[in-house]
C-alpha cells in the first residue's frame, strides 16, 4: 500500500530516533534474499536504491507493509513467524525475508544495496588472466588490534579501476559492526617530479573510493569477512593505508 510522504516521514523520524543500535546496510547479489528482523510494536524501515513500483508479500495477514518512493515501512501483526517479500523497482527487483524476532534484535532501518560488477572487476581470484590485471602485492600484510585482524589479500589493476581485496577476522566472542561508508584509503607519499616524498599523517591524501563491497556489516565471533574496494586507478608505487571503522569501537588501520 502506498502512503503519503507526511505519514511516512513521521514513521521514518521515529525509526531514526532509535537507529543507533538497529541500522544495517545489506549488500545482496543476484536473486538472493536479504533477511530483515522485525518485532511486534516496532516499525522497520527498508530502503532500496530505486523508487518502488509495487511489492508482493507471501503472508499479507502477518505484516502491515506500506511504501513511499524508495522506502518500505514494515510492522508485524503477529508475534512469531516469517514470510518472503518481493519488491519491484523501476529497474529490477529485491527479495527480502521478513523474520519476527525479539525486540532486542529488531532492525530499525535496513539499507539494501546491490552487489554490482564494475568494468574489469575480478570476482574470482582464480580467473585472473595475464595481461588484463596484475598482482601488485607480493606479501600479505596483516594488523591485529584486540580481537580483530585486518589482512591485505591482494591489489589488482584493471583497465580503468584498481581493486583492493582484504579480510576481517574476529577471534573474540563479541560481535562487531563495520561502518562501510566510513572506510578510507590514504596515500603515505606524494610524487614530486621524479621522486617520492614522504609526508606526515596530517598531509595524507585520501583516495577516491568508487565502491566498497562486503557481504554484510556484522562480524561475529570466529568469523571472516571478505571485502573488496574499487577505487580510481592508481599505480601501486607508494605505500597506502587502509582504515576500517567499527561502530562503538576503534578503527583498525594497516599500511602496506
The pLDDT confidence band at residue 5, using thresholds 50, 70 and 90, is low
According to the per-residue pLDDT averaged within each range, which of 48-52, 62-66, 201-205, 238-242 is highest? 62-66
Average pLDDT over residues 156-183: 85
Q: Which residues contact 140 (CB under 8 A, 6 or more apart)?
A: 151, 152, 153, 154
Burial (CB count within 10 angstroms: exposed 0-12, middle 13-18, buried 19+), residue 219: buried
Select from 40, 46, 86 the least CA-distant residue to 63: 40
Average pLDDT over residues 231-244: 74
Q: For residue 12, is pLDDT > 80?
A: no
Q: For residue 41, is pLDDT > 50?
A: yes
Average pLDDT over residues 8-13: 48
- Neighbour order of strands in the sheet with 205-206: 205-206, 184-187, 240-246, 249-255
Q: For residue 78, is pLDDT > 90?
A: yes
Q: Are 72 and 66 in contact (CB under 8 A)?
A: yes
C-alpha cell at 84: 518472503
CA 50, 53, 56, 60 dihedral sign is positive
Give the Cβ contact number of residue 157 at 10 Å. Answer: 18
- Secondary structure of residue 81 in the 3-state scheme: coil
Select from 136, 164, 163, 168 the least CA-distant residue to 151: 168
- Secondary structure of residue 201 in the 3-state scheme: helix
CA 67, 69, 72, 73 dihedral sign is negative
End-to-end CA distance of the chain: 51
Q: Model pTM?
A: 0.45
172 vs 125: which has the higher pLDDT: 172
The pLDDT confidence band at residue 133, using thresholds 50, 70 and 90, is very low
Q: For residue 167, is pLDDT > 80?
A: yes
The pLDDT confidence band at residue 228, using thresholds 50, 70 and 90, is confident
Beta-ladder partners of 99: 37, 82
Angstrom distances, CA of residue 248 to CA of 163, 169, 174, 222, 224:
28, 17, 12, 19, 20
Domains belonging to the chain, first-starting first, are 5-114 (2.60.40.1080), 125-255 (2.60.40)
Q: For residue 177, is pLDDT > 60?
A: yes
pLDDT tens digits along 180-227? 888 888 875 444 444 444 444 444 566 777 778 888 888 888 888 888
> Among 55-69, 153-167, 173-187, whose mean pLDDT is lowest?
153-167
Q: Which residues contact 182 (CB under 8 A, 6 or more apart)?
A: 245
Q: What is the DSSP letter of 179?
A: -
Q: Which residues contact 240 (CB under 8 A, 6 or more apart)?
A: 185, 186, 187, 188, 207, 255, 256
Average pLDDT over residues 156-163: 74
Amino acid at each position: 500500500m502506498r502512503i503519503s510522504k507526511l505519514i511516512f516521514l513521521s514513521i521514518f523520524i521515529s525509526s531514526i530516533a532509535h537507529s543507533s543500535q538497529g541500522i544495517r546496510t545489506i549488500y545482496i547479489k543476484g536473486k538472493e534474499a536479504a533477511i530483515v528482523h522485525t518485532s511486534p510494536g516496532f516499525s522497520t524501515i527498508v530502503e532500496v536504491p530505486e523508487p518502488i513500483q509495487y511489492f508482493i508479500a507471501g503472508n499479507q495477514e502477518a505484516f502491515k507493509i506500506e511504501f513511499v518512493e524508495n522506502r518500505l515501512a514494515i510492522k508485524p501483526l503477529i508475534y512469531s513467524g516469517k514470510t518472503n517479500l518481493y519488491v519491484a523497482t523501476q529497474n529490477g527487483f529485491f527479495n527480502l525475508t521478513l523474520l519476527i524476532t525479539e525486540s532486542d534484535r529488531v532492525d530499525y532501518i535496513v539499507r539494501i544495496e546491490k552487489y554490482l560488477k564494475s568494468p574489469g572487476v575480478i570476482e574470482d581470484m582464480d580467473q585472473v588472466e595475464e595481461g588484463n590485471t596484475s598482482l601488485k602485492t607480493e606479501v600479505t600484510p596483516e594488523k591485529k588490534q584486540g580481537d580483530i585482524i585486518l589482512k591485505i589479500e591482494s591489489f589488482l589493476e584493471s583497465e580503468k579501476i584498481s581493486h583492493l581485496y582484504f579480510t576481517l577476522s574476529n577471534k573474540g566472542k563479541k560481535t562487531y559492526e563495520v561502518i562501510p561508508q566510513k572506510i578510507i584509503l590514504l596515500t603515505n607519499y606524494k610524487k614530486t617530479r621524479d621522486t617520492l616524498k614522504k609526508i606526515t599523517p596530517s598531509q595524507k591524501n585520501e583516495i577516491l573510493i568508487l565502491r566498497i563491497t562486503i557481504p554484510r556489516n556484522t562480524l561475529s565471533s570466529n568469523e571472516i569477512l571478505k571485502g573488496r574496494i574499487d577505487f580510481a586507478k592508481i599505480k601501486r608505487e607508494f605505500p597506502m593505508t587502509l582504515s576500517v571503522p567499527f561502530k562503538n569501537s576503534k578503527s583498525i588501520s594497516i599500511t602496506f
